Amino acid sequence: MQFVEEIVVDEFLPTVRSLLAGELRERGLTQSDVADVLGISQSAVSKYAHGDVATNDRIANDERVEMLVGELADGLAAGDTTRVQALIEIEVLIRELEAGGDLLAQLHEEAVPDLADHGSSFRIHDPESELRTGERVLSSLRRGLRILENSSGFTSLIPAVGSNLVACVPDATDIDDVAGVPGRIFDVKGRTTVPAEPEFGVSEHVANVVLAARAHGSEATAAINIAYDSDTLADLTEEGHATAEFDETDDIASSVGAVIEDDDDVTVLYQTGGMGIEPLIYILGSDAESVADTVRSLI
């Protein structure tokens, strides 16, 4: 009796680790770096590199495996993908390949021929789990923050209260469903400073803007606040953004909601300030990277 998990452990994981170790080395990571990223010993990395670990050619040549390994290698090497996210993505692919008739199911049936008579499906994990969805949002947010950090001149757009780039899960209902930068993004001696890794539930103001917009018809899942300037607003309009002014009140959700209800195509919201209120522009977008790209275009 052989379980499909045994095929995963004995054939799939050694093959994927070997492929991933090779891809990471090609992207300039040292043997020590690869060991740290994959959570294995340097001696294990050396064995993969010298072909001392048996791999399965059918698994290695599967297009989905090749594609995922390439994507994970890019993300892990650049720091845009966490080890947790990589683990989740590999786990999801495993469950896909375990489904009846697919690659791992075929290998399992070959090892246990009687299974072919049952047409069983071994898909036991939901690809759209909350953990996977949350990790995707955080990964997108990290990439967006990287764009801002590498954009010379972004500090000129940071308001006195600081900026925050936020992104939410598809079914977001409150600030715990929105990820942002703890402590906001600040200009420290002319340098864009992101004080900590993005987390869920740490932004209130910008999170409430995107939540209010979504609650009233907007499809935006990400947003950022920047300093208000009439020239900046004009540039955004010239780029094709629909802009709208709203009143800054204690109930920002109602103010934003009223504007979006009138036109859910609005992607730029702004308020010109008042007594003790700094004027701000809020840029909405489909994801954190697109919002960051919009900001970069203003510099």
> Can you list the domains of the chain with their CATH numbers?
4-115 (no CATH), 130-298 (3.40.225.10)
Say yes or no to pLDDT of 25 above 80.
yes
- Taking residues 199-208, report their average pLDDT: 95
Per-residue pLDDT band at 129 (split at 50, 70, 90): low
What average pLDDT does this structure show over 213-239? 96
Give the CA-trace dihedral at 135, 139, 144, 148, to 10 degrees.
120
Q: Which two tokens stand for residue 165?
A: 């780039």
pLDDT (tens digit, 9 = 90+) per residue, 170-187? 999 999 999 999 999 999
> Residue 115: is its pLDDT beyond 80?
no
Query: pTM (2 decimals)?
Result: 0.73
Residues whose CB falls within 8 Å of the CB of residue 238, separated by 6 or more in sequence, listed in order: none
Tell me the pLDDT band of 50, cut-offs 50, 70 and 90: confident
Give the pLDDT confidence of 139-162 residue by residue, as tens digits: 999 999 999 999 999 999 999 999
Phi and psi for 140 in degrees, rounded to 5?
-60, -40
CA 233 – CA 235 distance, rounded (Å):
5
SS3 label, residue 180: strand
Q: Which of 141, 136, 75, 156 is nearest to 285 (CA)?
A: 141
pLDDT class for 48, splitting at 50, 70, 90?
confident
Taking a C-beta distance cutoff of 8 angstroms, is the pair 267, 242 a contact? yes
Conformation bin of residue 142: beta by default, left when phi > 0, alpha when psi is -120 to 50: alpha
